[in-house]
Structure 1
Amino acid sequence: MNQRTRVRWIIALLMWAAIAINYLDRTILSAAAPTLMKEFHISPIEMGVVMSAFFWTYMLFQIPAGWFADRVGQRLSLGLAVTWWSIATALTVVCRGVTSLVFVRVLLGIGESGAYPSNAGVTAKWFPDKERARVSAIFDSGSKVGTALAMPLVVWMLTAFGWETPFIVAGLIGLVWVVIWWAYYRDPEKHKYVNQEELNYIREGQTKKEGIDNVQPMKWYELLKYRNIQAMCVGFFMLNYAIYFFITWFPTYLVEERGMQLMKMGYVSMIPPLAGLVAELFAGWFSDYLYMKGLSLTLARKINLVGGMLLATSIAFAGLVDSAVWSVVLLSVSYAGLTFAACAIWSLPGDVAPRNMTSVVGGIQNCVSNMGGILGPIVTGFLISTTHSFIPALLVSGAATLIGALTYAFWLGKIEPINPTGPHVNRLSSTAKA
């Protein structure tokens, strides 16, 4: 017997790189925000609107992006998405005020909406069930690398060369990734570097065989009738509300609330994402380990989901301590908790979706969750302007994570694929037990 190839892990690396670039591009603005606010005389409320503008289209296009990915394949959908958002990132250099910044961020949101739904679909096609949490952790960890690397690199580039430079460089990096993706990616059955042993390993380890055909057993909107889909959306909304504080307002918090200079802020802002990176990679291995040791899939996922969200409530206390060091420690613990839950969150679409609908389930979940991305920056900006403090905003984020923990603990039912032709065990009326 030939030794099994490991092409699926190269695919995982490419997915990781796509998400790292995705978050690099969306995070540049938050790193540059203090500079842009001074140069263009932008108020905190106006900057909150600019930061949230990305999420208007990012949210609205999640479901269409997921549907498109399932229909035409993730090779085209993800390649097109990265091309679009890379161009939008580079176009930021022509902005000269609130209106133009909002317009470019809206364009960026359209492109970036295709990333996570496409990656969820690729994971369902390329990996057996027992590796799903690890792969989800790997590709989602790109968001932490992108966020962590953005701050010191962007701050260095904008101080050395001007604020326009990091936007141009990030756009070029994305276009290079597209060339590599288009040349290398194919579905498992069509990939020239996959041998039969690896293909058998993938397909024999899947509860449902994703991507062999393109038959979808139901309309996308029918998924909304199911209890687990509803709980996934609400729980992820609560996580995103908290995590987007780090992506949008965290650099400003360090500068204005904790009095850090720009370069110091750039380095300190790396700490929570790096803590999250370590936590997520461990969490992905941990969830798969529990499942392979005989724990039910439901418990293997819920331990991550509930435990991580409870840990994340530490964000509420970060503004109450006098020490900047302890504030960063608490925020790092919170970020680690959020990422501990995140790998399970991105395993759920593959766990519960009907055949050939993983990308659209990922899109539905991400659509609702990113309403938190819209509300979070605006609410935070409003609270800062009215109270002249970050403390109320951090308390609200802590409350959101607690609600998320309760949602995953009690609303989310048994984790299994939705079977449209069988008993509707996953619907809201279900009495399925965790």
Structure 2
Amino acid sequence: MFSKIIVSQHLMLSLLWLAYASAYLLRKPLALVKADLISELHFSTQLLGWLDVALWLPYAGVSLTMGRLADKLGARNVLGFGLFLSAVSTAGIGYSSTFGVMFLLSFGTGAFQALCWPASCTILGSWFKQSEKNYAFGLFGTSCFVGGVLATYLVVYLERMCGWRYIFLPCAVVPAIFGLCIVMFARPPSGYTLTIEGSSTEIAPILAQPSYSSQPRSMTLFQVLRLQLLPEVCASIMFCKCVRYAFMMWLPLFLHDALNYTKFEAGVGSTAYDIGGIFGSLFNGFMVKRFFVGSNLFGACMSNFLMGMFLMVFYVSQGLGWPAHMSLLFMAGLFNSSADLLLTGPVALKLGEKHGASITVCGVVNGMGSIGSVIQGPLIGWIGTTWGWDAVLPVLVAMSLAGGFASLRAYRIQQRKQRAATVQQRTDAMESI
């Protein structure tokens, strides 16, 4: 028989998983209707890139600047109402025919869901003790990719059966419902008269008392960026997210235009990357323990390097056909998701907990990563228009390697700090004899 705590932990994990997976119903449609916007509304590739900016620029801006407010409002309210309001904004996109209206609605979608990830991480961290967090975040991280896969299949089906304009409203209903469920049920363990030792119970000051400080610290963006390891972690996640969102927003169009897939084949084939992400999230904790010396930062470093390697192989093997394409995209997605999850989950949360500002620090890391998602839109649009699709993949390979080197620097700093602490402890012990 499972204890009440274990059952409650997994019920909360399931609720958060479903809620965050539903957020991809608000993100995927814009990526999958790009070919329709070109053919029906005569949008250029560069204009489509600026639609990506409309979605991800407010996402990055709110993540970077509103963490202090989110810490005061509480993770439950931030996540629940963020999902609901972003769903409302998304629902109207299908009824618009001008770039300006689509831009504004996409802007609202990005802004309202900007803090959903750090809020989810903060709630989840309060339900699991330190030794269980890689397991919990590994399972939770699959929501990004399972949500992306299921959203892709649904959008492709709706587009085929009803046309692109009738995609957005049905996709908005589910996250709106889950947003309300989060507001009602996503309480900390203390809200259900449970105590979980070793967990981060700092969800919000109005919900629970933090375990790392007497009260949550209010930290500005510049204070957060001065924390040790934060600049390196932020640089690494920025490159990692740029690659991830370039694939999420452009892979269907790339497969359609560059490799001559049909729209249906391109939409379904693009899920190979997301399916790889599912496995990367599931086996993330195992890979860190077994292959990456138990270090989340070293795991992020090697995952970035391996992602770059598989993207390079994909670049030189485009003529090998569908099986090779899907296999290589699967492996690239696996290691991209591993690096992404490690940096925005356990690494960011641990740094935030030490300073009593979980949502703020997680939000800054996620927001800096979102700068990559903002950059990728106009960058990929400009490269594709100027030099063609063959020039896109080498740029993404270079970004993967840059992210790996940034994580490697953070790992080396961490190792030096740990060695210095060990030497100091031995010195103190000898002096006390």
Q: TM-score, normalised by structure 1?
A: 0.87
State whether structure 2 residue 30 is matched by structure 1 residue 12. no
Determine the structure 1 residue equivalent to 2:313.
317
Cα distance in 2 between the residues matched to 1:190 and 1:213: 12
Cα distance in 1 between the residues matched to 2:43 and 2:201: 51
Q: Give the superposition deviation at 1:182.
A: 2.5
- Aligned-residue CA RMSD (Å): 2.5
Q: Which protein has the bigger helix share? A: 2
Q: 1:308 aligns with which of 298, 303, 311?
A: 303
Determine the structure 2 residue equivalent to 1:96.
97
Counterparts of residues 24-423 of structure 1 (less than 5 Å): 24-191=25-192, 194=194, 199=195, 202-203=196-197, 205-206=198-199, 210-211=202-203, 212-213=208-209, 215-217=215-217, 219-220=219-220, 221-287=222-288, 299-313=294-308, 314-321=310-317, 322-325=319-322, 326-345=324-343, 346-353=345-352, 354-388=354-388, 390-412=389-411
Cα distance in 2 between the residues matched to 1:274 and 1:332: 6
Segment drifting more, 357-366 vs 157-166: 157-166
User: For the Cα contact (< 8 Å) 1:63–1:363, is it kept in 2?
Assistant: yes
Deviations along 1:273-301, one digit per CA (max 9) or x if unpaired, are 111101211113444x569xxx98xx421
Distance 1:46 1:431, change over 3 A: farther
User: For the Cα contact (< 8 Å) 1:318–1:328, is it kept in 2?
Assistant: no
Determine the structure 2 residue equivalent to 1:419.
none
Quote the sequence identity (%): 18
User: For the Cα contact (< 8 Å) 1:234–1:368, is it kept in 2?
Assistant: yes
Q: Give the superposition deviation at 1:47.
A: 0.7
Q: Give the superposition deviation at 1:4.
A: 4.0
Cα distance in 1 between the residues matched to 2:140 and 2:65: 21
Amino acid in the other structure paired with 2:297: K
Amino acid in the other structure paired with 2:347: L
Q: For 1:61, what is the secondary structure of its paired residue?
A: helix
Q: Give the superposition deviation at 1:383.
A: 1.0
Q: Give the superposition deviation at 1:75.
A: 1.4
Distance 1:387 1:323, change over 3 A: same
Q: Give the superposition deviation at 1:327.
A: 3.0
User: Please, which runs of 5 or more residues in structure 2 have no aligned partner?
Assistant: 423-433
Cα distance in 1 between the residues matched to 2:420 and 2:108: 43
Q: Give the superposition deviation at 1:153.
A: 1.6
**Count of residues in Structure 1 that have an aligned counterpart in Structure 2:** 406
Distance 1:162 1:209, change over 3 A: closer
User: For the Cα contact (< 8 Å) 1:311–1:337, is it kept in 2?
Assistant: yes
Distance 1:375 1:63, change over 3 A: closer
Q: Give the superposition deviation at 1:108.
A: 0.7
Q: Give the superposition deviation at 1:135.
A: 2.0
Deviations along 1:236-270, one digit per CA (max 9) or x if unpaired, are 00101111122111000111111111222222112
Determine the structure 2 residue equivalent to 1:421.
none
Distance 1:358 1:239, change over 3 A: same
Amino acid in the other structure paired with 2:328: L
Amino acid in the other structure paired with 1:73: G
Q: TM-score, normalised by structure 2?
A: 0.87
Amino acid in the other structure paired with 1:340: S
Amino acid in the other structure paired with 2:243: A
Segment drifting more, 315-324 vs 344-353: 315-324
Cα distance in 1 between the residues matched to 2:270 and 2:191: 42
Segment drifting more, 150-159 vs 25-34: 150-159
Distance 1:156 1:53, change over 3 A: same
Distance 1:392 1:373, change over 3 A: same
Q: For 2:38, what is the secondary structure of its paired residue?
A: helix
Segment drifting more, 263-272 vs 39-48: 263-272
Distance 1:75 1:38, change over 3 A: same
User: Please, which runs of 5 or more residues in structure 1 have no aligned partner?
Assistant: 417-424
Amino acid in the other structure paired with 2:402: I
User: For the Cα contact (< 8 Å) 1:227–1:412, is it kept in 2?
Assistant: no
